[in-house]
């Protein structure tokens, strides 16, 4: 039957633009180059057993990605697995840990994110106004679901959100072109993406929408807010 290994890895730089499906193929090729004894399904079209915890949106970076892979019973990962596996991967993908999986991916409840919101000309009081918008009791957006597009209140789907405006010296500056946002967003049932979060900045709040935004996943948590690995 084989056994499973869990890979913890980062996806940054140009690797951010690898789609989820292409990532699966990229990881498979890299693991084969690293001589990992992958376990394959049976039948006319065998494929390796690989499962990613939470598909990452294209363009979003992460330092906390997880993937389970099936390996042959007689395969034992070498002590230097993270470095050896990383050497077989394209730039931007770094294997941070290789270990036996414990908890199920379904236990992941929250994702810690950091975002950079960049403005050509930031509106006055931007930090306070952003904080005020996301402190509202109800924040309804049009969100794509399995049943189509519907109106969803995303206020319960994020928490601990904060905005700061560091300048180039690292000090707080209301006139900064960059606003940093840190938040916890729902991982699943239902999930919330950074794009959904920014969809709240439309209509009467359109002035607060950034001209450019980039996000990174920082950490995963369970329902009790314990770090998930």
Lowest-pLDDT choice from 27-31, 150-154, 159-163, 223-227: 150-154
**Alpha-carbon distance 57 to 20, whole Å?**
8
Which pLDDT score is estimated for 149?
81
Contact 6, 98 (CB under 8 A): yes
Q: Would you say 26 and 89 are in contact if contact means Cβ atoms under 8 Å apart?
A: yes
The CATH number of the domain covering residues in 3-102 = 3.30.70.580
Distance in angstroms (rounded) separating the CA atoms of residues 107 and 220: 10
Which of the four pLDDT bands, split at 50, 70 and 90, describes residue 166?
Answer: confident
Q: Where in the chain is the domain with CATH 3.30.70.580?
A: 3-102
pLDDT digits (tens, 9 = 90+) for 28-78: 999 999 999 999 988 888 899 999 999 999 999 999 999 999 999 999 999
pTM: 0.91
Q: Which two tokens stand for residue 66?
A: 């997880």
Fold type of domain 106-221: Alpha-Beta Plaits (3.30.70)
Is the predicted pLDDT of residue 172 greater than 60, yes or no? no
Instruction: Report residue 92's pLDDT band, with 50, 70 and 90 as the boundaries.
Output: very high
Task: Give the C-alpha distances (Å, rounded to integers) separating 145 from 180, 190, 191.
Answer: 28, 9, 10
User: Above 50 in pLDDT, residue 169?
Assistant: no
- Distance CA(7)–CA(54), nearest Å, equals 13
DSSP H/E element including 128: helix 126-134
Distance, CA of 186 to CA of 154 (rounded, Å)? 9
Q: What is the mean pLDDT of residues 155-172?
A: 79
* Interval 2-6 mean pLDDT: 89
H or E segment to which residue 220 belongs:
strand 212-221
**Chain mean pLDDT for the chain:** 92
Q: pLDDT at position 142, please?
A: 87
């Amino acid at each position: 039957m084989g056994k499973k290994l869990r890979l913890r890895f980062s996806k940054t730089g140009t690797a951010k633009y690898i789609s989820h499906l292409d990532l699966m193929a990229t990881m498979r090729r890299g693991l084969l180059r690293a001589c990992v004894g992958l376990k394959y399904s049976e039948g006319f079209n065998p494929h390796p057993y690989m499962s990613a915890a939470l598909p990452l949106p294209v363009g979003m970076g992460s330092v906390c990605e997880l993937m389970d892979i099936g390996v042959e019973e007689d395969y034992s990962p070498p002590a230097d697995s993270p470095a050896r596996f990383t050497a077989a991967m394209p730039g931007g993908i770094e294997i941070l840990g290789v270990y036996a999986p414990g908890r199920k991916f379904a236990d992941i409840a929250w994702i810690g994110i950091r975002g950079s919101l960049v403005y050509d000309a930031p509106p006055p009081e931007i930090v306070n106004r952003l904080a005020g918008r996301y402190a509202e009791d109800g924040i309804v957006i049009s969100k794509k679901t399995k049943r189509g597009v519907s109106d969803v209140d995303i206020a319960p789907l994020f928490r601990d959100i904060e905005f700061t405006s560091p300048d180039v010296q690292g000090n707080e500056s209301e006139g900064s072109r960059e606003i940093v946002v840190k938040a916890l967003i729902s991982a699943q049932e239902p999930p919330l993406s950074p794009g959904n979060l920014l969809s709240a900045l439309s209509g009467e709040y359109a002035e607060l929408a950034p001209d450019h935004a980039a996000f990174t996943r920082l950490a995963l948590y369970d329902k009790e807010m314990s770090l998930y690995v």
